[in-house]
Amino acid sequence: MPEWQAFSTAASSADVCLKSVRSFPAAGLHVDVSGQRYSPELESAAEQLLSARNFTAAREALLTGGICNPTEDRAAWHTALRAPAPNAEITAERERLNDFIRNADASRRWRNIVHIGIGGSDWGVRLSVNAFGYRKVWRNVRFVANIDGHAIEGALADLNPHDTLIVVASKSFTTVETLENAKRAIEWLQAANVPDPYEQVVAITARVETAKKWGVPESNIFKFWDWVGGRFSLWSTVNLTIAMVVSSDVVAGMLAGAAAMDTHFAETPLHSNAPVQMALSGVINRSVLGYGSLNIAPYDFRLGNIVSYIQQLDMESLGKSVDLNGEPVSVATGPAVWGMPGTDAQHTFFQWLHQGSDGAPVDFIVCQHADHKWRSHHQTLLAHCLAQREALLRGKNYGQALQECLDSGVEPGRAEWLAKHRVHKGGRPNTLIVLPRLTPYTLGALLALYEHKVFVQGLIWGINPFDQWGVEYGKVLAAGILNELQHSQAAQVKHDASTAYWVNQFTDL
Ligand code: F6P
């Protein structure tokens, strides 16, 4: 595509901008992309590339419920869930959910919530509860995602079964981890002789009939729809646990912040459209500059789970290498996403970011104001965040390193040797996202920012960001192996030699 060639050429010769600030206000956030490649030529090539990719029509389809997920023949209309005036069906379901919560709160019922779900049915809820429920809340919450029996065992330990609500969140209501863990929870309730165990279960799902057959009373089922992708389901009734553990106001704030980011994405010119600009940087870093990963560095202890949240969002969406026509994409697509909150990350892997041979672009996320009273803690946190970023950006050349050594009294011969170890390449791409403070509104806006960024990257690469056939393939193979293990039979399915060997070893358990 000539537009790609022009974009890639312009990106290769563009540079990071050390002399001026390129920062965009977006739904209450500030997205500073000064640390990403930029030139006026690149900006115009980017706009032409987006136009060649029918960006305007694709965005319109996304935001109005068009078929954006052609391999599963469905929309990806999560934005409808957070629209200021959602349609009647969405409103009615939300009202049912709110009634349920109001009744539980009024009767001070359910001191404990066990939230069972995995992937998109877990990360966003876990993130939000940790972000806003880190101070004491009156309900205990436990999250169970992993099939490892230690997870459910630990979660149920020391809870009172008579005052525990089990929330089973699963879009498909077929996910083996979730259903097995939910069965253990039911057994635990039965063993405690609660009057009606299934009355203590709530299901959040797009498969109401399946949940009913499983045993959940219809009045305890809160639905969402097929057109909500699993990794976008935080905006649906999946957020019940957030409302129950922290408050319904938190959910309302998050929906409002996300909706504000949707408006920004829909209406802001491309050159200052934050998700678009982040997506362009993402494509440049991966496909032009060859960075294989993206580091997420939240400088906010409360946002620890945002790394996993973005990891699923970005990697499950962009981990594809075939375009919509089924042809291989000719450039590298979605990066590996990883990270850890700062400042822990500084003492874990930042050395590699500064001086490793590969390095990675970094998204720094920080709140200008803290919500605790220790000013010096927050000033130190901010200082570290800015300093790490500056070091990655500015680097240090040999001359500077040598002078530094000489100035500190190192003898010249040793200084020449030592200086070589203290060179920092610099020019490492990064984005700084500043939240005025962490509120439900700003968190909602932040998550929607990443959702739209991912969508635009998918569009530029020509891939479908809304399916996940790789995950499905693993699930099918696991079902076959499980069948063999449970029936203690020699490997039936055709396996490679090593898998067959271990299937046979494990059938004796
Ligand atoms: O990981 C694959 C996936 O399908 C995710 O997209 C989804 O969030 C997760 O599994 C859980 O699926 P479900 O909500 O259907 O249990």
172 touches ligand 1 (CB under 6 Å): yes
118 touches ligand 1 (CB under 6 Å): yes
Q: What does the pLDDT look like over 97-120, one tens digit per residue?
A: 999 999 999 999 999 999 999 999
- Predicted pLDDT at 487: 82
SS3 297: strand
- Predicted pLDDT at 509: 61
Burial class (CB in 10 A: 0-12, 13-18, 19+), 383: exposed
For residue 230, what is the DSSP state?
Answer: G
Judge whether residue 377 has pLDDT over 60: yes
- Predicted pLDDT at 490: 60
Of 127-136, 193-202, 450-459, the one with minimum mean pLDDT is 127-136
Phi-psi region of 359 (alpha: psi -120 to 50; beta: other; left: phi over 0): left
Q: Which of 420, 425, 388, 428 is nearest to 401 (CA)?
A: 420
124 touches ligand 1 (CB under 6 Å): no
3-state secondary structure 209-222: HHHHHHCCCHHHEE
- pLDDT (mean) for 394-419: 96
What secondary structure does DSSP assign to 347-384, as a single string?
GTTHHHHHHSSS---EEEEEESS-SSS-HHHHHHHHHH
Pairing mode, strands 430-435 and 29-32: antiparallel
How would residue 81 be classed by pLDDT, with cut points 50, 70 and 90?
A: very high
**Best of 71, 78, 118 for a ligand 1 pocket test (most atoms within 8 Å of beta carbon):** 118
259-to-27, 65, 253, 268, 305 alpha-carbon distances in Å: 9, 15, 10, 14, 22
* Residue minimizing CA distance to atom 4 of ligand 1: 230
**CB-based contact 426:395 (threshold 8 Å):** yes
What is the atom index within ligand 1 of the atom nearest the CA of 230?
Answer: 8
What secondary structure does DSSP assign to 126-159, as a single string?
HHHHHHH-SS--SSEEEEE--SSHHHHHHHHTT-
Pull the structure tokens for residue 453: 């960024």
In the reported structure, the alpha carbon of residue 115 is separated from the centroid of ligand 1 by a whole-number distance in angstroms of 15
Catalytic sites, residue numbers: 316, 347, 475
230 touches ligand 1 (CB under 6 Å): yes
Judge whether residue 45 has pLDDT over 60: yes
How would residue 134 be classed by pLDDT, with cut points 50, 70 and 90?
A: confident
Q: What does the pLDDT look like over 152-178, one tens digit per residue?
A: 999 999 999 999 999 999 999 999 999
Sequence-distant (≥ 6) Cβ neighbours of residue 426 within 8 angstroms: 391, 392, 393, 394, 395, 396, 397
Q: Which CATH number fits domain 86-246: 2.60.40.10, 1.20.1630.10, 3.20.20.70, 3.40.50.10490?
A: 3.40.50.10490
Judge whether residue 400 has pLDDT over 90: yes
Q: How far apart are CA 10 and CA 153, in angstroms?
A: 55
- Residue linked to tokens 């992708």: 229
- pLDDT (mean) for 28-34: 97
Counts for the chain of helices (H) and strands (E), in that order: 21, 13
Sign of the CA dihedral with 343 first, then 318, 17, and 431 last: negative
Judge whether residue 491 has pLDDT over 60: no
Pairing mode, strands 74-75 and 221-223: unpaired
Of 129-138, 226-235, 358-367, the one with minimum mean pLDDT is 129-138
Pull the structure tokens for residue 313: 């969002």
- Predicted pLDDT at 507: 84
- Predicted pLDDT at 16: 87
Q: What does the pLDDT look like over 423-447, one tens digit per residue?
A: 999 999 999 999 999 999 999 999 9
Query: What amino acid is encoded at 397 in this protein?
Result: N
Sign of the CA dihedral with 221 first, then 121, 305, and 285 last: negative
Judge whether residue 136 has pLDDT over 80: no
Phi, then psi, of 395 in degrees rounded to 5: 65, -170
Q: What does the pLDDT look like over 189-237, one tens digit per residue?
A: 999 999 999 999 999 999 999 999 999 999 999 999 999 999 999 999 9
Q: What does the pLDDT look like over 306-343, one tens digit per residue?
A: 999 999 999 999 999 999 999 999 999 999 999 999 99
Q: How far apart are CA 405 and CA 478, in angstroms?
A: 57
SS3 79: helix
In the reported structure, the alpha carbon of residue 191 is separated from the centroid of ligand 1 by a whole-number distance in angstroms of 30
Judge whether residue 252 has pLDDT over 70: yes
Q: Which of 358, 355, 361 is nearest to 428 (CA)?
A: 361
Pull the structure tokens for residue 373: 């009273």
- Predicted pLDDT at 492: 60
- Predicted pLDDT at 504: 87
| Domain 2-72+255-394+428-461 is found in CATH 3.40.50.10490 | yes
Q: Which helix (H) or strand (E) is 119 found in, with range?
A: none
Sequence-distant (≥ 6) Cβ neighbours of residue 406 within 8 angstroms: 412, 415
In the reported structure, the alpha carbon of residue 409 is separated from the centroid of ligand 1 by a whole-number distance in angstroms of 59
Q: Is the peptide bond before 343 cis (omega within 30 degrees of 0)?
A: yes
What is the atom index within ligand 1 of the atom nearest the CA of 169?
Answer: 14
- Residue linked to tokens 């399915």: 493
Q: What is the pTM of this model?
A: 0.96
In the reported structure, the alpha carbon of residue 120 is separated from the centroid of ligand 1 by a whole-number distance in angstroms of 6
- pLDDT (mean) for 32-60: 97
Judge whether residue 187 has pLDDT over 70: yes
